[in-house]
Amino acid sequence: MVLIFLTAACIRNGVFTDTAGIKGKSWAIADIPSFTVPVDDTLGNHDISFLIRTGSSYPFRNIFFFVTTTSPDGQSITDTLQYELADEKGNWYGRGFGDIHELRLPYRNNVFFPMKGNWRIDIQHGMRVGDLQGVYDIGIRVEKAQK
């Protein structure tokens, strides 16, 4: 049973955003949000980042991701990433209100998509626990690269 629900993807002013909510605020290692990014610009470069919202029950100050990107022709590549979410004193990075902490995590800058079509980006958490408590949602943002 998948415990993740996706919101409707949104493309506005050349910016693609999508979010996967984590039901029960517990991200199971087997639940892998998948984002479909429609690409029609093969000339410009793009910046890709992730958005994560966590709560005070999140037990770590970092997070590992396994990110698999699949091109429209089925070729894929997987990256292992680590991000710091809080400093050594437990102060959360990003912004927050009450129990919720939101942070934008840079993934790749100046990405060139060599072909048009739907690119899929899957994100699996890579922590050493099966159920990662305190994760509210994970999202992706693709925008034109800043010159």
CA distance 24 to 105: 23
Name the β-bridge partners of 120.
Answer: 36, 70
**pLDDT computed for residue 56 by the predictor:** 87
**pLDDT computed for residue 30 by the predictor:** 95
- Residue 9 and residue 16 in contact, taking contact as beta carbons nearer than 8 Å: yes
**How confident is the model over 91-115, as a mean pLDDT?**
92
Tokens at residue 85, please? 């979410």
**How confident is the model over 72-78, as a mean pLDDT?**
97
**pLDDT computed for residue 4 by the predictor:** 47
The answer to pTM > 0.85 is: yes
- Residue 117 and residue 37 in contact, taking contact as beta carbons nearer than 8 Å: no
**pLDDT computed for residue 5 by the predictor:** 44
**How confident is the model over 88-114, as a mean pLDDT?**
92
pLDDT band at 111 (very low <50, low <70, confident <90, very high): very high
CA-closest candidate to residue 47, choices 144, 135, 116, 112? 144
**pLDDT computed for residue 57 by the predictor:** 92
Q: Tokens 């980042």 label which residue?
A: 49
Count of domains observed in the chain: 1
- Residue 118 and residue 22 in contact, taking contact as beta carbons nearer than 8 Å: no
**pLDDT computed for residue 13 by the predictor:** 61
CATH number at residue 54: 2.60.40
Q: Is the pLDDT assigned to residue 36 strictly greater than 50?
A: yes
Instruction: Provide the domain limits for residue 133.
Output: 4-144
Residue 49 one-letter amino acid: S
**pLDDT computed for residue 1 by the predictor:** 37
- CB atoms closer than 10 angstroms to residue 32: 16
**How confident is the model over 20-47, as a mean pLDDT?**
95
